[in-house]
């Protein structure tokens, strides 16, 4: 029997003919970038879908965070989480800001609001929590803390496209939310990202962000800001317009995969599955599993290795936590965030994508059960 080769994710894509039709008028206009018609159309449609006031598109999700921080003109310390992709921390540091790491909640894997206030000092200027695996932060508790201490609140929303809390788009919480539209995400534009914010910020933050992402240029003769080139192109916008038409169907397919995993792995001592959140409309972005070596007798790394021997490419996501990576060696102590550190040594995200065969889910789960036997 031919060995399977199943990657941890696989990009959803529209029919080839649909994309070709979507890009046809680009050949007529020859407008390839610089906030063209498709860029503007996608911004409008995303604002509606995400239930937010304003959406600005950027070249990727990292620039969404980095330039949002820059547009706010922050100085000092930013309270954040180490249980995230390295981009979150790098965006803070590249703005000349100091990350202060808060530990996570062991159930949602997001920033624990009960531990935030002890980290606030006279240097604290902002809180940057991260929604993880499709799980949302405790937005109400964090909002209360941010307002109490007059801190900016910027969410890394890379994992929560389309997620809603109590009927409200998740991108409408805090001052700003930053999304990634990388090819591996639930919704993608090949590469891309977005910043969502309230209409009241349009003439201040929004205008500044629009300048910064375009070298700081206001018009041909006025350059009031300093910035890189983080503009979004028309071909990526076209992919986004196509994918947005199908994203609800793709999420529904992902749900079936997640439910099959749950059927197979629920109730096994030593295995902890991600729990649905109350009042949350999920997007089934990832399927993280926590493996407890003390109960199972085998650790996460061996399970990953065993799956790999059978062509299954799971991911240690997130490992290492960002306060322990080599470029920050000696600056932070990962033991200051013990729950995040522990989770990073136990978590494995299993393959999950919209067109994944349910039989492959069964196969993966059988391998996991074999590995722990």
| pTM confidence score | 0.97
Whether 264 and 239 have beta carbons less than 8 Å apart is answered as no
Q: What is the pLDDT of residues 88-131, one digit of tens each?
A: 999 999 999 999 999 999 999 999 999 999 999 999 999 999 99
Cis, peptide link before residue 223, omega less than 30° from 0: no
Distance CA 142, CA 163 (A): 18
Is-same-fold flag (16-241; 246-372)?
no
* Structure tokens, 365: 């789960």
pLDDT at 3 over 80: no
How many other β-carbons are positioned within 10 Å of the β-carbon of residue 315? 17
Average pLDDT over residues 1-7: 79
What are the residue ranges spanned by the domains of the chain? 16-241, 246-372
| Sign of the torsion angle spanned by Cα atoms 65, 111, 89, 204 | positive
Alpha-carbon gap, residue 246 to 276, rounded angstroms: 23
Residue 68 CA to residue 337 CA, distance in Å, equals 26
Integer Cα distance of 57 and 67 in angstroms: 11
The class level of CATH for 16-241 reads alpha beta
Measure the CA–CA gap between 2 and 276, rounded to whole angstroms: 36
Q: Mean pLDDT over residues 279-299, rounded?
A: 98
pLDDT digits (tens, 9 = 90+) for 17-65: 999 999 999 999 999 999 999 999 999 999 999 999 999 999 999 999 9
User: Rounded CA gap, 82 and 321, in Å?
Assistant: 5
Burial class (CB in 10 A: 0-12, 13-18, 19+), 127: buried
Between CA 126 and CA 198 the distance in angstroms is 17
Going by their DSSP bridges, the two strands 288-291 and 347-349 should be labelled as: antiparallel
User: Which of 167, 161, 162, 170 minimizes the C-alpha distance to 138?
Assistant: 170
Tokens 């890009």: give the residue: 23
SS3 (DSSP) at 45: helix
| Mean local confidence (pLDDT), 234-248 | 98
> Where does the pLDDT of residue 1 fall: very low under 50, low under 70, confident under 90, or very high at 90 and above?
very low
Bridge partners, residue 347, by sequence: 290
How far is Cα 249 from Cα 34, in angstroms, rounded to an integer?
31
| 3-state SS class at 340 | helix
The Cα–Cα gap between 346 and 286 comes to: 16
Question: Which pLDDT score is estimated for 2?
Answer: 60
Q: How far is CA 43 from the centre of its chain?
A: 19
266 Rama class: left (phi>0) / alpha (psi -120 to 50) / beta? beta
Q: Please write the tens of the pLDDT for every residue from 342-355.
A: 999 999 999 999 99
Which one of 3.40.250.10, 3.40.309.10, 3.90.1310.10, 3.90.1150.10 gives the CATH number of domain 246-372?
Answer: 3.90.1150.10
């Amino acid at each position: 029997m031919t060995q399977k080769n199943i990657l941890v994710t696989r990009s959803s894509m529209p029919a080839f003919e649909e994309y070709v039709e979507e890009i046809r008028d680009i050949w007529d206009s020859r407008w390839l970038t610089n906030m063209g018609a498709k860029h503007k159309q996608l911004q409008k449609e995303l604002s509606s879908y995400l239930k937010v006031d304003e959406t600005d598109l950027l070249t990727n999700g990292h620039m969404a965070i980095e330039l949002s921080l820059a547009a706010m003109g922050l100085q000092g310390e930013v309270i954040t989480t180490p249980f995230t992709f390295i981009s979150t921390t790098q965006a803070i540091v590249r703005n000349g800001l100091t990350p202060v790491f808060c530990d996570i909640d062991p159930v949602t894997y997001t920033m624990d609001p009960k531990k935030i206030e002890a980290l606030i000092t006279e240097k604290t200027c902002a809180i940057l929590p991260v929604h993880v695996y499709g799980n949302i932060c405790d937005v109400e508790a964090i909002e209360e803390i941010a307002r109490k201490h007059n801190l900016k609140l910027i969410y890394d929303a890379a994992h929560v496209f389309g997620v809603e809390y109590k009927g409200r788009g998740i991108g409408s919480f805090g001052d700003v939310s930053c999304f990634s539209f990388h090819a591996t995400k639930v919704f993608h534009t090949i590469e891309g990202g977005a910043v969502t914010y309230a209409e009241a910020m349009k003439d201040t933050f929004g205008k500044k962000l629009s300048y910064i992402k375009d070298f700081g240029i206001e018009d041909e003769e006025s350059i009031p800001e300093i910035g890189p080139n983080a503009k979004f192109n028309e071909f990526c916008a076209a992919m986004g317009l196509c994918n947005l038409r199908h994203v609800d169907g793709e999420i529904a397919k992902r749900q079936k995969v997640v439910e099959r995993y749950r059927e197979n792995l629920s109730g096994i001592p030593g295995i902890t599955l991600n729990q649905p959140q109350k009042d949350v409309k999920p997007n089934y972005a990832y399927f993280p599993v926590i493996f407890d070596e003390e109960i199972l007798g085998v650790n996460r790394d061996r399970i990953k290795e065993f799956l790999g021997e059978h062509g299954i490419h799971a991911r240690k996501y997130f490992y290492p936590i960002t306060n322990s990576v080599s470029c920050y060696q000696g600056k932070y102590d990962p033991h200051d965030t013990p729950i995040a550190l522990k989770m990073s040594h136990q978590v494995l995200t299993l393959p999950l994508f919209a067109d994944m065969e349910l039989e492959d889910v069964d196969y993966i789960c059988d391998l996991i059960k074999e590995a722990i036997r």
